[in-house]
Amino acid sequence: MAASTEEMINLIGPVLRMQLGTGERYPVVRFVEKTDRSAVALSISESMDEAGIIAATKALGSASSVEAVGVDGVGAFEIDPADETSTGRVAGRVLIVTGAAQGFGLGIAQDLAKEGACVVLADINDTEAENQAKALRTEYGTNRAMAVSMNVTDLASIHSAISETVKTFGGFDGFISNAGVVKAESVKTQPAEDFDFITAVNYRGYFLCTQAAAQILALQHKACPDYSSDIIQINSKSGLVGSNRNGAYAGSKFGGIGLTQSFALELIEDGIKVNSICPGNFFDGPLWSDPDNGLFAQYLKSGKIPGAKTVEDVRRAYEAKVPMGRGCTTPDVMKAIYYLIEQKYETGQAVPVTGGQVMLH
């Protein structure tokens, strides 16, 4: 069966990005239907497989000499050379962050942009994701941020978001699976639909995102065997130790670590490192502090903290559980993210960032 135009873009864009890159800097490869630039013709048929497309791009030369590439029946790919002047720990990388419209996800995307990355803010709340991406573009530059609509429980939505990323940048170098939900309640009373919802987002969603992201990342490795990339799941300390009256959430996070270890064993052959980060409680984010649906409010309602009369009572009780006496923050998590990206000899790990509340053994 002949490939669709979108499938061809998802094949050609990442291969061009790798072929025209230098070192660890890769150009922006932007798909357009027509271009005013001087375009090099690339002969690619719909029946070509990945190996054939990779072979066809070998004669293009360096990014500095190619302004655009035209492919009959598909369109054109405009080439903007990599910005060699950008600095930071992830300079030149394109990174997708799910659940990036607010909370941890937004903080992660903002810090990645500050450290030189082009960031893709993926969220089911695409309006707020676009607002935040616009702010990042204003601060860092036109090509430095974009928003995509993504429902991590819907494979078609994930593929669509990744395709938009490829059309804009030509590919990406890392996928941070941050989107997550929690509905805390006793196993004795929790509705099955709530359990299913938590599992669908936190567990199945991580599987679907990894499955879709790995296709592009593996293709880039095939085009450039020295290239490596990252999938990082933002898990939780509840993935390391059970959570009273919050079993659905803890179960989904325990399962996520099992997926991470299994994905890591399989995807390393594609140059993809897969790791989890297990943060402690982000008390200041909406997950905990939302006055109506945050965990402080949920735990007060469910009676998880005996004797607690207010959400402040619940917060103080949780702060007291942490040896370092405070909740986890975005900068704490960012240090772990950068470690996992920079450390080339680490995969399949669940890195705790818990202030000593949960220790590995």
The whole-angstrom separation of Cα 65 and Cα 87 is 24
DSSP state of 237: G
Per-residue pLDDT tens digits of the chain, which is 361 residues long:
457 999 999 999 999 999 998 778 899 999 999 999 999 999 988 788 999 999 999 888 665 678 999 999 999 999 998 877 788 999 999 999 999 999 899 999 999 999 999 999 999 999 999 999 999 999 999 999 999 999 999 999 999 999 999 999 999 999 999 999 989 889 999 999 999 999 999 999 999 999 999 999 999 999 999 999 999 999 999 999 999 989 999 999 999 999 999 999 999 999 999 999 999 988 888 778 888 888 889 888 888 899 999 989 999 999 999 999 999 999 999 999 999 999 999 999 999 999 999 998 7
Q: Residues 140, 206, 227, 249: which is the catalytic one? A: 249
Whether residue 300 contacts residue 265, with contact meaning beta carbons closer than 8 Å, is answered with no
Catalytic residue flag (residue 249): yes
Task: Give, for 146, the enclosing helix (H) or strand (E).
Answer: strand 145-149
Hey, is 41 helix, strand or coil? strand
Q: Are 300 and 311 in contact (CB under 8 A)?
A: yes
Identify the sign of the CA torsion 62, 65, 68, 71.
Answer: negative
> What is the spatial distance between Cα 159 and Cα 161, in angstroms, rounded to a whole number?
5
CB 14 within 8 A of CB 216: yes
E strand or H helix that includes residue 266 = helix 247-267
Domains of the chain: 5-80 (no CATH), 94-281+322-353 (3.40.50.720)
